[in-house]
Structure 1
Amino acid sequence: MKIREATMQDAQDIGKVHVDSWRTTYKDIIPDSFLNNLSYEQRTELWKKNITIKDNYVLVVENELGEIIGFATASTRETNDVPYSSDLTSIYLLEECQGKGIGKQLLKELFIFFKKKNHQSIFVEVLAGNKTRYFYEYYGAEYVKTVQINIGGKVLEEFVYVWKNIDKVLETLE
């Protein structure tokens, strides 16, 4: 397994992982019609854009064959007005790669990045039905509030969490 910063050449593979992981992660949470309409081409274009945004930090994880099996991103959301903070905006892995410690390694790399940037608190937003929230809670994320969002015509609850001590998270991830 190798974790590295994404390049433009990775956009297509990230787009594929994005679609495939959403279809498994959000099955029975987000409407099937929305998930079925996700396209590799649209997500590839999204990732070409995301990779070029200066303040985005995009990581990929490759398996032993050099295939991208997951990704993670950090950036500060436009809605985040908390001084000295940033956002963990995604961690996604192909379903068959979950539960093997890869997410923990991606989380660690993101928090090393946050520390280098001198951020003091990190936010993450997670759909209430997404069991990944337990992963974030395990590593010290504290519940802040619930917001409602609309995906595919369905109103969903999204939990907002925060980490207030980056050093403590990094200690937990050792």
Structure 2
Amino acid sequence: MICIRRARPTDAAAIGAVHVATWRTAYAGVLPDAYLSNLSVLRHAAGYEAAISDRRQGHAVFVAVAKGADAPPGATEEGGTVIGFVSGGRSRRPAFGQGEVETLYLLDDYRDRGVGRRLMRAMAAHLAAIGCRSAMLWVLKDNPTRWFYQRLGGRPVAREAIRFAGQGMEQIAFSWDPIEALLLATAPASEA
């Protein structure tokens, strides 16, 4: 069983581990190997612990937790194992959308099972509940999973050059306006 719930401060270490693991696979060949190998689970965990507690600007973090037969091999956590997460809140750049999905990461073994869509739905519902009428996110142009956002109906609304990990890259902003477009795209089949 895989459930989606609001993150707790005790989830921070697991969220940090998911962040590092997914970056090392998703950005292999995109970001420098030295940068990826130096990612720190502890540093990311500390950042996510703060993010979980910070409710300013409507910020929220949701986790996907696998239990029972869906748990990763060797999992021993009684309450389940965090296999993915999403974070966001009111947009840092409202011209592209009132709400912003800041992060969405899911362990490779759980892709193509609807878990990413369920995480996006949790965030879209949260953003709508805090009054956001549209949503957006940034994704690196070379991110191999950016098709996921396109499949959910995200429209590219901006591109910008950034420097990251010591190199120039391009990122794309995807938008859902109105936010109901994202809620509909992520609805379970029985609701669509």
Name which of 74, 82, 92 aligns with 1:68.
82
Q: Distance in 2 between matches of 1:13 and 1:173?
A: 25
Instruction: Tell me the alpha carbon deviations over residues 17-57 of structure 1, each in whole angstroms, 9 at most, x when there is no partner.
Output: 11011101111111111111101111111111111211321
Equivalent residues in 2 for 1:67-146 (5 A)?
67-78=81-92, 80-82=93-95, 85-146=98-159
Gaps of 5+ in 1: none
Identity of aligned residues (%): 28
Instruction: Tell me the alpha carbon deviations over residues 100-147 of structure 1, each in whole angstroms, 9 at most, x when there is no partner.
Output: 110011111111112212211111100001132211111111111211
Gaps of 5+ in 2: 72-79, 188-192
Aligned counterpart, 2:184: 171
Q: Distance in 2 between matches of 1:84 and 1:135?
A: 18
Give the CA deviation at 1:173.
Answer: 2.1
TM-score (norm 2): 0.85
TM-score (norm 1): 0.93
Q: Is the 8 A contact 1:126 1:132 kept in 2?
A: no
Q: Is the 8 A contact 1:143 1:160 kept in 2?
A: yes
Aligned counterpart, 2:75: none
Give the CA deviation at 1:153.
Answer: 0.7
Q: Distance in 2 between matches of 1:94 and 1:160?
A: 23
Give the count of matched residue pairs: 173
Compute the RMSD of aligned alpha carbons.
1.6
Give the CA deviation at 1:77.
Answer: 4.3
- Amino acid of the residue matched to residue 63 of structure 1? A
Give the CA deviation at 1:167.
Answer: 1.7
The list of structure 1 runs, each at least 4 consecutive aligned residues, that deviate by more than 4 angstroms after superposition, is none
